[in-house]
Amino acid sequence: MKQNPLLDLSGLPKFDLILPEHIEPAVDHILARNRQQIGRLVRDIKSPSWNNFMAVVEQLEDDLERVWAPVSHLNSVRDTPELRQAYQVCLPKLTDYATEMGQNKALFKKVIEIRDSDEFHRLDQSKRKVIDNAIRDFRLSGIDLAPDKQIRYREVSSELSSLGNQFSQNLLDATDAWHVDVDDEQGVSGIPQNALDLARKAAEEAGATGWRFSLQAPSYLAVITYADDRMLREKMYRAYVTRASEVGPDGGKWDNSEIIDQILRLRREQAALLGYENFAALSLETKMAGSSLEVFAFLDQLSKKSKKLGEKEVTELENFAAENLGFDALAPWDYAYVSEKLRQYLYDFSQEALRPYFPLPKVLQGMFEIVGKLFEIRVEASKPPQLWNPDVKFFKVLDFEETIRGYFYVDLYSRKHKRGGAWMADCMGRRLTSEGLQLPVAFLTCNFSAPVEGQPSLLTHEEVITLFHEFGHGLHHMLTKIEVSGVAGIQGVPWDAVELPSQFLENWCWERQALDLISGHVETGESLPQSLLIKMRKAKNFQSAMQMCRQIEFSLFDMRLHTSYDPDGESTVQEQLNQVRSQVAVVKAPAFNRFQHSFGHIFAGGYAAGYYSYKWAEVLSADAYSLFEEKGIFDPFTGRSFLENILEKGGSEEPMVLFEAFRGRKPNVDALLRHSGLSPLEEAA
């Protein structure tokens, strides 16, 4: 198998050599080897210890992860029919293996022996946490189930993995398939030049005339926010909110309806097999929140703080549209457009006006300088390894002693056959091996507009925030000092705490000292003028209550689906969403809106019964940042404390313990409400 590039684990992945035909043989090989080695381990090791047992299991699992990580990444950023087929074939094999290991009683017995041994108390905190987590995960994998129920648990897990992948592929296909061409200049009135250049390029590449707009985020957002042509906005909106559903222009072609019901049905069955009342209770076993009641109370608290103000913001928007734009009533495809007009009216600037000040190369370099000041590190370009796309960049992170802490790939431009959104993913994790220290490597992925005609990509301020957010995740992964992979970096961190470093880093995008580093006009090099910054800050909480209500809507919908919804009952998923909207939404969605069909976070990602995590972690991040507001945004002592107590510790301790070590107390919601402009609002009676 030496000729298979996926099995060459001597260094970074050989992306330009990996072919779809390599995937299944590599996965088969590594799974067979792992099964054989683990069988030998549990048979031959009579007195298991960390070194003779856990460290060997960790090595086997890391080898598997290093084989699969580049495949999973390529599936997200360079989708082809052949790669998709190979990926889909391997998913059930990997799920079956994971469940099989989780139900391996001999393996479980050895881990229990280590936990009950004298050695356990001499192990460091990170290794004890790995063992405790492993025992918990054995139980969550059905180790205590009767044989027939274990078999059913495996079947359910495998089917869920395949369904999640199919959901994601349907969404990608539906997004890629649709476009609209516009031939006359009047039809593109209002759309920023940056977006028009991209649309012109897309039309030319397709052999069409005029401008071609797609459902890729940079194209869709430009039209829905700026296009004066109301019919064009409506056409784009209808296509976007009905993707992968039974309605809309491609209705029924990539329909996720049955997949959604089947996923919810199987999750419900999985929870019942393990003895949980519902899937939310199962999901919360590995999170900070103690119960669904606690999550519902948290969301209710935020809703009370934001709904009245959200309704006031909607009324303000409607009045402005009637008085200044001649709208009798606002349609769903008008809200973003009118909101931008109102923002410009109130604050005399638009996101598009900021683009020239945020050329991507300047933003990247400035971001690296900011984290350098905060955490005494240095980011510099590294000799690029083999890449999957010529636009990808590669960097290394060094500390003040010039020790390399990690590496990361950066893939920032939107393109066809690349999953939408932004994310950070592991390529390799930090761990101490028999051959030395394996350094962490991250994938940093966004979907910004690509450069056009020699100009660099120009970002809106919102896109700058997105970049900082994902880099915050990357720093969590790369700056860890934990040397066992199960709790190094983001591994082992509860899902509702994992957004802390990412949301935390966003705060520097609003600070004068930081903006001087990340901004520089594309033509003059001038940093963002103070006059624009003042307007930005005044507009920071523009419609923040509306946005808060929308996030609560998503979170509440997710929790309702995974607590009380019965896929085989009389109610439908759409009716569940409608009920949630009637309770917390301040903007009425049209009947044809099928948001759930593209809700990849909960149906194809890790956020099932966990979407509330964004707001939960935002409480932590806002409160953590408030200490920098007190001490100074580049205070070296505070920066070092965050590095040492949060970033370097990874998942080695409970997040509340780490937060209290940094902040000196438990978190409270006050900083989040203040940052969101919601603190003056009294709670509803």
Q: How many CB atoms lie within 10 A of CB 545?
A: 24
Residue 351: band (very low, low, confident or very high) from pLDDT cuts 50, 70, 90: confident
Domain membership flag for residue 135 = yes
CB 182 within 8 A of CB 210: yes
CATH assignment of the domain containing 14: 1.20.1050.40
Q: Name the pTM for this structure.
A: 0.93
Catalytic residue of the set 313, 352, 470, 511: 470
How confident is the model at residue 677, as a pLDDT?
Answer: 87
Is 165's pLDDT higher than 90? yes
- Evaluated on CA atoms 563, 569, 575, 579, the torsion sign reads negative
In the 8-state DSSP scheme, what is residue 418?
S
Domain membership flag for residue 379 = no
Is 350's pLDDT higher than 90? no
Q: Which of 87, 64, 67, 91 is nearest to 77 (CA)?
A: 87
Q: Where are the alpha helices (DSSP H) in 78-187?
A: 81-102, 105-115, 125-140, 147-177
Query: What are residue 328's phi and psi, to 5 degrees?
Result: -70, -40
Domains contained in the chain, number? 3
How confident is the model at residue 680, as a pLDDT?
Answer: 53
Domain boundary among 116, 140, 164: 140
Is 223's pLDDT higher than 50? yes
CB 450 within 8 A of CB 457: yes
Each residue of 441-461: pLDDT tens digit? 999 999 999 998 889 999 999
Domain membership flag for residue 641 = no
- Evaluated on CA atoms 605, 609, 615, 620, the torsion sign reads negative
Residue 570: band (very low, low, confident or very high) from pLDDT cuts 50, 70, 90: very high
Each residue of 278-333: pLDDT tens digit? 999 999 999 999 999 999 999 999 999 999 999 999 999 999 999 999 999 999 99
Domain membership flag for residue 72 = yes
Residue 678: band (very low, low, confident or very high) from pLDDT cuts 50, 70, 90: confident
**Euclidean distance between CA atoms 312 and 304, whole angstroms:** 14
267 and 302 share a domain?
yes
How would you classify the pairing of strands 404-413 and 441-448? parallel
Whether 470 sits among the annotated catalytic residues: the reply is yes
**Domain range enclosing 274:** 257-348+543-611
212 and 267 share a domain?
no
What average pLDDT is seen over the chain? Answer: 96
**Euclidean distance between CA atoms 501 and 475, whole angstroms:** 8
281 and 310 share a domain?
yes
Cα–Cα separations (whole angstroms), residue 500 to 166, 292, 503, 646: 30, 21, 6, 9
What is 339-404 written as a DSSP string?
HHHHHHHHHS--HHHHGGG-BHHHHHHHHHHHHHHHHSEEEEE----S-SSTT-EEEEEEETT--E
Domain membership flag for residue 419 = no
How confident is the model at residue 385, as a pLDDT?
Answer: 83
How confident is the model at residue 454, as a pLDDT?
Answer: 86
Is 124's pLDDT higher than 50? yes
How confident is the model at residue 684, as a pLDDT?
Answer: 34
109 and 16 share a domain?
yes
How confident is the model at residue 290, as a pLDDT?
Answer: 94
CATH assignment of the domain containing 333: 1.10.1370.10
Cα–Cα separations (whole angstroms), residue 45 to 39, 42, 586, 626: 10, 6, 61, 51
